[in-house]
Amino acid sequence: MRLINVHKCQSGIKLAKSIYNVNGKVLLFQGTELTDKLIEQLKRYNVSRIYIEDEQSEGIEIIESIPDELRIEAVNRITEGFKSIAELSPNRANIQGMIKSGRAIRSFQKIFRDILSCLNENHSALNLLATTKIHENYVYNHSLNVSIYACQLAIENGLPLKNIEEIGLGAMLHDLGKMYISSDILNKPGKLTSEEFNHVKSHCHLGFEILRKIPEIPLTVAHCALQHHEKLDGSGYPRALKENEIHKYAKILSVADVFDAVTSSRSYRPSMLPHEGLELLYAGSGTQFESKQIQLFKSCIAIYPQGLTLKLDDGRSGIVSKYNFSATGRPVIRIIRDEEQQEVKPYEIDLSSKDNLNVHIVEADSLLY
Ligand SMILES: [Fe+2]
């Protein structure tokens, strides 16, 4: 199977993976032959890329970091949990609400433990693009992805289990305050007015005020909500904290948060590919984000996911067929076109091997039909 840009899709191609809505309902089954009408619908739902079946990519399987069933269950629990917790007022505590929130937190901890055991069993580069979802509410799906990325990054940092669990919970709840922001503003296509942007920024304080009142939640978790938009150079919000004033958890979380935000499609823009998201993080290395966190993050994500079409600097093109876990930026590529862009009998080259060290990836997502 291979990953292609929906905007370059033609009718008649077959879906290689089912497409789900956030509740886990299958909207389009694997094997469906796409028509012009279905392609238009996918574009309307802001789906940027899909997996398709074709001869050239036969046998290329996508490794899922988190199985679809667990992802769907997790998003459902996060949706319910957020709604229960958001019934609490940031300014007033109530016993009934506290009990419901405590229950939601225990449910989050259960999801988190399942994700953690998945990550521990799965010794492959993280690829969260493997499931195509239609986002009815971006926040829940984003919360899950950020939690997975942050958890893996906490593991790479060599932190003890207790800290990893706190970061995972903090990541799941970091945008809780957005439950109090109008979805018209959150999903507004185009630039926000300064008044609207100030309103969006208030989600950090709102989330913190709620979370710090829930007895089951450590204060460090509440600080994840408060500090996840702070930047090392003081250009972040809400308090423009700098360097060591920012909690270690928030430094990890901000890398995971920005990466997932830019690699997810939104109503106002298509998604970036992982290597583009990583470039954006590098642009802020040492000024916005800790350089060490970006280095560690780079080592654990699938920079070029399996199924992606690439062009090499010698003119050849191919599809990523396998990861090299020790060099995630140098995958194994199934060459399908030669230097003159003529179709060839497919063969594989391993970019991490000595023989191919001079060959570089120059372009990704080029659809070469
Ligand atoms: Fe946020």
CA 178 – ligand 1 centroid, Å: 8
68-300 is a CATH 2.70.98.20 domain:
no
**pLDDT bucket at 92, cuts 50 / 70 / 90:** low
User: Beta-carbon neighbour count of residue 34 at 10 Å?
Assistant: 20
Fold of 2-53: Molybdopterin biosynthesis moea protein, domain 2 (3.90.105)
CA 211 – ligand 1 centroid, Å: 14
CA 315 – ligand 1 centroid, Å: 41
For residue 136, pLDDT beyond 60 = no
Query: Quick one: pLDDT at residue 267?
Result: 66
Give the chain's end-to-end CA distance (angstroms, integer): 15
Query: Quick one: pLDDT at residue 293?
Result: 97
Mean pLDDT of 345-364: 88
Q: Return the exposure string of 239-278: e unless at least 16 CB atoms fall within 10 Å of the residue's CB, then b.
A: eebeeeebbbbbbbbbbbbbbbbbbbbbeeeebbbbbebb
CA 9 – ligand 1 centroid, Å: 33
CA 323 – ligand 1 centroid, Å: 31
- Domain ranges (residues) in the chain: 2-53, 68-300, 309-364
User: Does 71 or 15 have the greater pLDDT score?
Assistant: 15
For residue 133, pLDDT beyond 70 = no
**Residues in the 5 Å CB sphere of ion ligand 1:** 175
CA 203 – ligand 1 centroid, Å: 7
Let me know: does 9 contact 39? Beta carbons within 8 Å.
Answer: yes
CA 228 – ligand 1 centroid, Å: 6
- Taking the C-alpha atoms of residue 159 and residue 253, their distance in angstroms, rounded to an integer, is 14
- Taking the C-alpha atoms of residue 59 and residue 48, their distance in angstroms, rounded to an integer, is 23
Query: Quick one: pLDDT at residue 344?
Result: 94
> Residues 268, 273, 280, 63: what is their CA dihedral angle, to the nearest 10 degrees?
130
Query: Quick one: pLDDT at residue 93?
Result: 61
Mean pLDDT of 122-146: 73
